[in-house]
Amino acid sequence: MYDDLLVPTDGSDRTDAAVDHAVALAQAFDATVHVLSVVDTRNRFESPSAGVAAQAWVDAEQERADEAVARVADAIPDDVAVETVTREGTPTAEITGYVEETPIDAIVMATHGRSGLDRYLMGSVTEKIVRSSSVPVLTVSGATDDE
């Protein structure tokens, strides 16, 4: 039923709960876990007064994405096959694009629990994926005990 699972990650600790669920599914179905992080190329600081060059933004995002996929891959037990990938673009488009290009059977991803102005400004990648995905999406609360 599940041969290939996708775990998108932004590098936050909230992804840990999604990884636990993906590992359980992968072990039950002998599936491969694909770990994806997106280098967000939307430079939020690209203006004459911001002082952050577009390439500096992309370089920092690439480093974050590389670290994010490595962190998740390291957390997955050796008995589970893992593929890691980073892509450049916007998170929603790159996640859905990867699903369309790769034989992914389900997405396992964390929710971030944003609300109010933060949700309005940042949007919810998870919500957009749930609404647009062509495959099932398992959402896992990324809330911590502190919240």
Q: What is the CATH number of the domain that holds 14?
A: 3.40.50.620
14-48 confidence digits (pLDDT tens): 899 999 999 999 999 999 999 999 998 875 555 55
- Model pLDDT, residue 119: 47
Q: Give me the mean pLDDT over the 77-102 stretch.
A: 96
In a domain, 34, yes or no: yes
In a domain, 12, yes or no: yes
In a domain, 147, yes or no: no
In a domain, 53, yes or no: yes
In a domain, 146, yes or no: no
Structural domain count, the chain:
1
Q: Is 66 exposed, middle or buried (0-12, 13-18, 19+ CB in 10 A)?
A: middle
CA nearest neighbour of 6 among 105, 129, 93: 105
> Over 70: is that where the pLDDT of 1 sits?
yes
DSSP state of 14: T
- Model pLDDT, residue 144: 54
Collapsing DSSP states into helix, strand and coil, what is residue 50?
coil
Domain that holds residue 74: 4-141
Global pTM reads: 0.86
CB burial string 25-34: b at 16+ within 10 A, e below: bbeeeebbbb
